Structures are given as C-alpha cells and as structure tokens.
Structure 1
Amino acid sequence: MDHQAIEKIQALVHAAQIGNPGTDVPTLLVPDGYELTSLEKYQSTPARFRGTFSTSSIEDYGNYVNAENEARVFVDIDDMRAATFFDLGNPTAPGHGEHRAYLKLEATGAYVACLQANGTSFAQKELAHWIEDWHHCITGIDSNGQELTAKQLANSVRKIEIKATSERSHEDGDWNTKRSGMDALDASAGDSTPDIIRFHCIPYEGLAFRTFEIRVSIMADDTKPRLKLRIIGLETVKEEMAKEFKEVLVNELDEHVTLLLGAFSK
C-alpha cells in the first residue's frame, strides 16, 4: 500500500470520528481538506425559504408584503424606494434576512422629460419642438398673465426677436473730454413673451397627478435668443412627493406590517 492510499484511509477514519458538525442545514465534513459542504440541494425541500421580490408597482408590492405574517418595511424617501425583510428576527433570535421584497418607483417618461429640461438652455426651434412633443402635458402663461395653449406657447417662442439699441454721448470741456456708450439687446415677441410653462403629469406610477411650473428666461446676449427653463421650487415638490410616497405605503400595507423611515443593510 503506497503513501497516498494510507493518507486517504487516515482522513476517512478521522472524518468518521468527527461526525455531524451540528448545523441546522445538513452538512458533512469531507476528507479533501475537511471542507464543510452543504447537502441541502439533495433534500426534497430547502432548509429555509430564500428569495427576493422586486417591483415598481405599489399595489403588487403591497399584495406580496401583506401575504406574509411578519414583515419590516424600510422606506427610503430620498430614493423613492422601500425594502422589506420577512425573516430578520430580533437581537435575541436573529434571522438570516434572506427573504426580501423591494419596491423602486420608476419615474414616468413625462416626468423624466420635465427634469431633463430643468436648467437647460434651448434655441428657439429646440424649445418649440420640445413643447410640441409634450403638448398633451403643457399649458403656459405669457408675460401679461394670459393663459396659453401648447400651440400658442410654441408659436410665441418662435416669434421672439432680438432688437439691439445703442446709445452714445460725447462731451467736450475746456480741460477734459468725456465719452460714454451703451449697447443693449432686448427680446420681444410682439406684445408679450412666454413667461411660465405649466407641465402636467404623473411623476411616478401610484402617486398623484401634479403640475410643475417652469420659469422661462430669455437670454438676449447674442443676435439669436436662447431660452432657459427652471422648475420653480423643485426641492419643495420633491419633499412633497416623498411624503406622499410614505402615506401611500401606509394605506397600502396592513396593520401587522412594521413601517420605518430609513435604509437597512445586512
């Protein structure tokens, strides 16, 4: 009998003497380096339930979470998402936390377009095309406070013209000479200019319909005007939507579900 055969026999004898390591999941020490190996995959059923459910639907998320007897939901209102753990246990009897459900609200296409326009500087034609593309979401107000349809708003944008004015003065005195000059560029679109774009949309599926007011600033620093858009009070609106997200979840989840604000990592 060679040396390797003797070592294998010794390893088998030693493993048999160790026996069952005593874990909840059936395991066995095998001779090759005494590696701990799980036998769970050979059982008819798993040792415990594991799985992750992910969705962007508040209704489906609620149905899944409410079907379980015990659930803890952590709501991250900054990212508009929620994470549920069904088997966390407690400090005395901790669980593995391997059964989870995630909800991540997806921004609608209209809301994404609104956010992308915020802070953007458009040429006249570009903004007119953007308004026409989203005409079903848009109304407006001109500088005189008059209501505009999307079509009227787009036409008003196209009609903006830049007018240049120049002033010069010259003064000669006995001991000095003074010269001054000023050039000005003024933008106009007839009697009025576009002032506010109202963008109406559902920002996230499951949340309420909202109107975002967008200020139109005309930059007349060149012969061709550019128009910059800025959503008025965007941060305040985001805070309102975050609070609404929490309230919607509270109404969607049953009383036995524990809901907490914040994020949990394991």
Structure 2
Amino acid sequence: MQITALYRHPLKSHGREALQTVTLHAGQSMPFDRSWAVAHDASKADGSTWAPCQNFSRGSKAPALMAINAVLDEKSGRLTLSHPDRPDLTFDPNQEADIFLKWVKPLVPQNRALPDRILQLSGRGFTDSDYASISLCNTASHAAVSERAGTDLSPLRWRGNIWFEGEAPWQEMDWIGKEIALGAATLAIREPIQRCLATTANPETGARDVDTLGILNSTWDHQNFGIYAEVIKGGPVALGDSLTVH
C-alpha cells in the first residue's frame, strides 16, 4: 500500500491544506491539524483543554464552510482562507479573530449559535476524538461510495489526514486493534470514524448535494468512513511512502 495524499486542517472545520510531507510525533495529532477551532456563542469551551465538536462551528451545521481552503504560514502563524463566495483572507488566528468573524459571517446560518471566538489547543489539537488522533482513508472505499452515489465524489468530503491506495474497499476496518507502519512512523489503529452531515456538502460549492450518510447506511449498514489512529512512534511521512499492517 502507498500514501497518496496528506492533509491538515489548521482551523477546525474551516479549510484543508494539502501537504507533501509531514513529521508525526508520538501522542500528538498531525502538526497544526485543528490547532485552532471556532467556538460559537453558546459554547462553554475556553481552550484550556479538549472539548467535543458540539462546542464549535462546523460543516454539519453550516455546510458552506466545507468549501473553504486553507494555507498556514508556520513561521508567521498567519492563516490564509479562500472560499468561492468570499474574498481571500489572511489573518493571525491568535490576534485577529474579529477580522475572521466578519469574513465568515455570511457563510453560517444566522438562526443558530454564531461564531464567537477562536481557541487554540497546541499539540493534540481539537480533533473530533477525545484523544489525539490522525484519520486515515482508503481510496478504494471512497471509490465504492462514489460508485454507489452515481457520481464522482471529491475525497475532500471526508476531511481525512492520510489517504492510501492498494487495499480492497473497507479492508481498513479489519485493522482495528492493529499497528501500521507508514514512512518512518508507527500508528495504532483505534476505531472507525462515524460520519456526520458535513460529508453531504460539496467541497467546491459548500452546498449539500449527496446523501452520503444514507448511502453508507443503506449499502453497508453503517455510517463509518475511515479510521482513527494514534501515533506511537513518530517520524517523517511523505507522499509515495509505503503503508504496512503489522
């Protein structure tokens, strides 16, 4: 098996960034993945510790957010966001939250809890799991969903960190409890990823257009896509590196 794509999501639910290489660290999520999150005005989260996704603005409630792309300048800490319906925005998530809140306002429903502040959680990030996880996705499983949908779906719907090819569809679900080697790193596979409404939105337009959850449930009797893993041995990982199940 081989690594085909690497992504991080610096600001949770607000854009993805493709990478060529990344260095993983034991006990941490992918560097700068979901380092920041947008707490809404009903959230109790304060950034001192991990909080579940219900505390944050996210694509399941605001599908237009799914069309955001992101580029993080690690040296300056400045983040650039782009969206087909908004001008590009470059800002410092720690210093210029007000600029971002004005920019994102047209992309979120006004009859729900509204974006209120940006929080940062270094190291592990605001992952969707309550532990520092990395998500892996199988290109063959994605192709199976696309075939069932009758259209060429973008893999960006799944917001995965690491994509791989060379395995049969859904075979990754048999890896639960096992370890994998990829690049110079070793990961322990923890559990399948149960999906939400965010995956029903088109990553190019931000409009809900495919019932991915219905397809998963009706065809495979589950709502899972991809697997969560924990890094137990760090090291560099790059596009084209091999993936081996132990």
- TM range, smaller chain: under 0.3
Q: TM-score, normalised by structure 2?
A: 0.19
Q: TM-score, normalised by structure 1?
A: 0.18
Question: Looking at both structures, which has the greater relative contact order when contacts are Cα pairs under 8 Å and sequence separation is at least 6?
Answer: 2
